[in-house]
Structure 1
Amino acid sequence: MLAFLPLDFLPAAYRAWFVLAIAMVLAAAVALIVHHIGFLVLRRITAPRPYLHAAVTGGAIPSRFVFALLAIRMVLSGAPGEMLFTRGLSYLTTVSFILCLTWWASRCVKALSDTAIRLNPYDVADNLRARRMLTQTRVLARSAHAVIVLLGLSFVLLTLPGVRQIGASLLASAGVAGLVAGIAARPVLGNFIAGLQIAFTQPIRIDDVLIVNGEWGRVEEITGTFVVVRIWDERRMIVPLQWFIENPFENWTHRTSSLLGTVFLWLDFSVPLAPVRKEFERLCKASPLWDTRVAVVQVTDTTERAMQVRFLVSAANSGQAFELRCYLRERLIAFICEHYPGGLPRVRAQVGEDRDAPRPQGKVVPV
């Protein structure tokens, strides 16, 4: 193909390398042109489909290297076997091609996950579906990245004759999820499988409100091995993924974020409940924290001294329920103190002696 070039000025030992270099440059240039044309066509075709469009645009840069390295590898495969250093260059090209393929796959996974998160924003009032999608996307994306890197490393090792057995072992362990590599790898594999269970069954999601070991907090992040729970006082609790599969915990936002909140007051028997109930309903209607679903006043217990009154109220989420309970507790106590000063529980005791009671006769002897 390059016989028309005047190569008489070069020594015979370098003419073959010069021709090979020119052929590799031309092949890479043609591959880049083909890639550019194909990229423009695919970008236009996938424009109405956000996920395919994201995969095409996200893998644009690594795919250029893949096309160029593939063209160079094809040229090197046709080079004469007696040329020096061609085997080493061919090996380096193959390894680079595998690494670029791994990079391309990782970029496509990241583009897909970013698109899923962008199309399902969870900073809205009713974000249950968005949080479900966000949790699945993040957990599956991290798992996919780990599998892609493992496969890329395995294929690279398979190209080395000395360590081909190690690459085959890694590839087999990636393909058979049920095999346990050893006791040391059991926690890692357990967390990996727990992550897949959480992604599909979703006992927890991003921004869920949990009670874990008596602590109230929100799920801030779900990684491939642990969950970050942001406690109400800004502390972070790090919990392994496998713990959520093996232990019971409370999830206040599993199906819906709305909750019922209670306010308990101990009142004297002399307090009439009708005005208190009317004031309670007025306070609920005046507060934007109430979601208009539930507002109930009930006497739930009595003792020989007072009665226990429960004020049951509903709110859109746990944060608003807590604030609404505090608001109602403060206003109800103020209302009772103002209108029924003796309405709060009192301990009645007789102080001093009754003047009409008969006094003991005789001398009192101290003991």
Structure 2
Amino acid sequence: MNSLTELDFLRFANQSRNFIILGLAFLFVFVLRKIKSKFLQRFDIQKENNLRARKVHTQVGILEKILIFITFLIAIGLILLSFENIKEIGIGLFASAGVAGIIIGLSAQKMVGALLAVIQIAITQPFRLGDAVVVEGEWGWIEEINLTYVVVRIWDKRRLVLPSSYFLEKPFQNWTKNSADIIGTVFLYTDYSVPFAELRAELTRVLQSTDLWDGEVNVLQVTDSKEFSIESRILVSAKNSPTAWDLRVFVREKMIEFIQKNYPESFPRTRVELKDKKADIQAS
């Protein structure tokens, strides 16, 4: 009877310890998130010049996820120690070099490989939260950086989900790595008869009429000449990538309207010359 009571007591003690371990793990996560939230209040990511804020948000966010992962890894290992049948598993988790040994031992696995990749991303920062990127032929913004994957919000509100290791193994474009301001491009295809001086004057007028333009870049250049049309490239600048997108759309619309109203004959045309064969025969 006494032995049964002792056994029940040990089981109760083990269960209580497991609940305490889980409670402490969740308490640590709660406190960690409160500290993170308080700290990030000093770095407003909504400001126009938010390069430093995005850098800090990226590093803190990744660090938070890594600490949470390690916390629950330790908690699970401690809980395993309380079960006799799998006690060897729990001991094995803390053998050799401890938690670091676990990570190194599992580094061959894809999941841990992605975890190490996101740590490298946090240190080297090839991109940050909110950066404008071109990945897999898609243009969008870095929306989430998680332990094993990164979410890119495409301009049309789709989400492109890629493993963290992708950004260390394959090339991609980062349009806002060094600054938030960005240059937008608009292409126009017209007939050879279009007057370039008038187009440049209209472009300046259009840019000066909108707050989307930051007043820095205003360029119209002829970049190609083809059989039936010419290609004109417009370069305009804006304070950040979302504004640059809106500015590109605005400029494209206004320039097309200008050509429609003033030079409708200058849109690309295919010229066909018809000859009167009968008249040619009579002439001969």
TM bracket, shorter-chain basis: 0.7 to 0.9
1:351 deviates by: 3.0
In structure 2, the CA distance between the partners of 1:294 and 1:112, relative to structure 1 (3 Å rule), is same
Q: Which runs of 5+ in 1 are unaligned?
A: 1-81, 362-367
In structure 2, the CA distance between the partners of 1:222 and 1:278, relative to structure 1 (3 Å rule), is same
1:310 deviates by: 2.4
Partner residue in 1 for 2:104: 179
Q: Whole-Å Cα distance in 2 between the matches of residues 114 and 150 of structure 1?
A: 23
In structure 2, the CA distance between the partners of 1:298 and 1:85, relative to structure 1 (3 Å rule), is same
Pairing 1:288–2:182 present = no
Pairing 1:244–2:173 present = no
1:159 deviates by: 4.8
Partner residue in 2 for 1:112: 35
Q: TM-score, normalised by structure 2?
A: 0.82
Q: Whole-Å Cα distance in 1 between the matches of residues 77 and 234 of structure 2?
A: 63
What pairs with 1:1-367 in structure 2 (closer than 5 Å)?
A: 85=6, 88=10, 91=14, 94-159=17-82, 163-172=86-95, 174-176=99-101, 179-181=104-106, 186-303=109-226, 306-353=229-276, 359=282
Greater length-normalized contact order (CA 8 Å, ≥ 6 residues apart): 2
1:196 deviates by: 1.1
Q: Deviations over 1:91-140 (max 9, x none)?
A: 55554544444333323322222223333232222222222222222221
Structure possessing the higher radius of gyration over alpha carbons? 1
SS at match of 1:342: helix
Worse-matched range after superposition: 189-198 or 174-183: 174-183
1:151 deviates by: 1.3
Q: Whole-Å Cα distance in 1 between the matches of residues 161 and 89 of structure 2?
A: 34
Q: Which runs of 5+ in 2 are unaligned?
A: none
Q: Deviations over 1:254-297 (max 9, x none)?
A: 22232222223344444433332222111111111111110012
In structure 2, the CA distance between the partners of 1:177 and 1:169, relative to structure 1 (3 Å rule), is closer
Q: Deviations over 1:210-242 (max 9, x none)?
A: 222112222222222212222223222221112
Q: Is the 8 A contact 2:107 2:113 kept in 1?
A: no
Amino acid at match of 1:189: V
Q: Whole-Å Cα distance in 2 between the matches of residues 272 and 115 of structure 1?
A: 58
Amino acid at match of 1:250: Q
Amino acid at match of 2:99: A
Amino acid at match of 1:200: I
Q: Is the 8 A contact 2:93 2:102 kept in 1?
A: no
Instruction: Percent identity, please.
Output: 35
Aligned residues: 277
SS at match of 1:336: helix
Partner residue in 2 for 1:72: none
Q: Is the 8 A contact 2:151 2:161 kept in 1?
A: yes
In structure 2, the CA distance between the partners of 1:233 and 1:273, relative to structure 1 (3 Å rule), is closer
In structure 2, the CA distance between the partners of 1:179 and 1:332, relative to structure 1 (3 Å rule), is closer
In structure 2, the CA distance between the partners of 1:302 and 1:133, relative to structure 1 (3 Å rule), is same
Amino acid at match of 1:315: A
1:306 deviates by: 4.9
SS at match of 1:292: coil
Q: Whole-Å Cα distance in 1 between the matches of residues 271 and 84 of structure 2?
A: 93
Q: Whole-Å Cα distance in 2 between the matches of residues 333 and 103 of structure 1?
A: 58
In structure 2, the CA distance between the partners of 1:104 and 1:263, relative to structure 1 (3 Å rule), is closer
In structure 2, the CA distance between the partners of 1:341 and 1:166, relative to structure 1 (3 Å rule), is closer
Q: Whole-Å Cα distance in 2 between the matches of residues 219 and 225 of structure 1?
A: 14
In structure 2, the CA distance between the partners of 1:344 and 1:97, relative to structure 1 (3 Å rule), is closer
In structure 2, the CA distance between the partners of 1:165 and 1:272, relative to structure 1 (3 Å rule), is same
In structure 2, the CA distance between the partners of 1:142 and 1:352, relative to structure 1 (3 Å rule), is same
Partner residue in 2 for 1:19: none
